[in-house]
Amino acid sequence: KAGVTQTPRYLIKTRGQQVTLSCSPISGHRSVSWYQQTPGQGLQFLFEYFSETQRNKGNFPGRFSGRQFSNSRSEMNVSTLELGDSALYLCASSRGFEDTQYFGPGTRLTVL
Amino acid sequence: GENVEQHPSTLSVQEGDSAVIKCTYSDSASNYFPWYKQELGKRPQLIIDIRSNVGEKKDQRIAVTLNKTAKHFSLHITETQPEDSAVYFCAASTSGGTSYGKLTFGQGTILTVHP
């Protein structure tokens, strides 16, 4: 089985812009979770989608949003980028009825 | 919400020695505890996990123990090798309810195995 894939792998944006990141889960997985990884804050949960519905959300501002499509692919969007949004954004997929999550390679976002 | 503390933050061992990383969690409802290994520039990879109905689980040189009463769990790596050098993260989650798909991670342990 192919693993979790994320595109793009690297992004450079400037403050105030918006960005969309994409995640394709393992085939058959219906749940996609998103995490932000930074040296200072570590790995922090953003949100989780299952069957096109957001089931859970972390403590991030409304500038961070996401969605899931009928094929389980997910996107996350960050609007009005701030310097502090520079991070590695990881998605993880699972079947949805158990907790084992498998991570993608991440998208490295740099905000200048 | 859940809080996971991980110690030590750095661990240096000689090849062949054992390494132990410890985590404590705050939410007694947590019932799933995975460990991930992340090499530089790579994705976190699941190396072992344990559910709350089990006290210990072993996979070759890696073992995890869980003490639900004390709310702590530990990763044990025996006969360490240089390729074990990486950052290790513990995590905790609660199945279902409002906690779907959410892993709460510890801050990570940088393990260095010297040849």
pLDDT tens column, A27-69:
999 999 999 999 989 999 999 999 999 998 999 999 999 999 9
Q: Shortest Cα distance from A35 to chain B (angstroms)?
A: 9
A43 CB within 8 Å of a chain B CB: yes
Q: Shortest Cα distance from B106 to chain A (angstroms)?
A: 8
Q: Residue A40: which H helix or E strand, with range?
A: none
Q: CA-CA distance, B16 to B19, in Å (whole number)?
A: 10
A56–B99 CB contact, under 8 Å:
yes
Whether the Cβ atoms of residue A99 and residue A93 lie closer than 8 Å to each other: no
Give residue B97's pLDDT: 63
Instruction: Return the residue in B23, B46, B102, B104 with the most chain A beta carbons within 10 A, the one to mutate for interface testing.
Output: B102
Instruction: Return the residue in B31, B33, B38, B100 with the most chain A beta carbons within 10 A, the one to mutate for interface testing.
Output: B100
Q: Residue A105: which H helix or E strand, with range?
A: none
Q: CA-CA distance, A46 to A53, in Å (whole number)?
A: 14
Q: Shortest Cα distance from B17 to chain A (angstroms)?
A: 28
B102–A106 CB contact, under 8 Å:
no
Q: Work out the angle at residue B37's Cα, subtended by the Cα atoms of residues B44 and A2, and round it to the nearest 5 degrees.
A: 45
Give residue B96's pLDDT: 66
Q: Residue B77: which H helix or E strand, with range?
A: strand B72-77
Residues 6+ apart with CB under 8 A from B90: B4, B6, B21, B23, B33, B34, B35, B73, B75, B105, B106
Does residue A2 have a pLDDT over 70? Answer: yes
Q: Work out the angle at residue A110's Cα, subtended by the Cα atoms of residues A48 and A38, and round it to the nearest 5 degrees.
A: 55
Average pLDDT over residues B21-35: 94
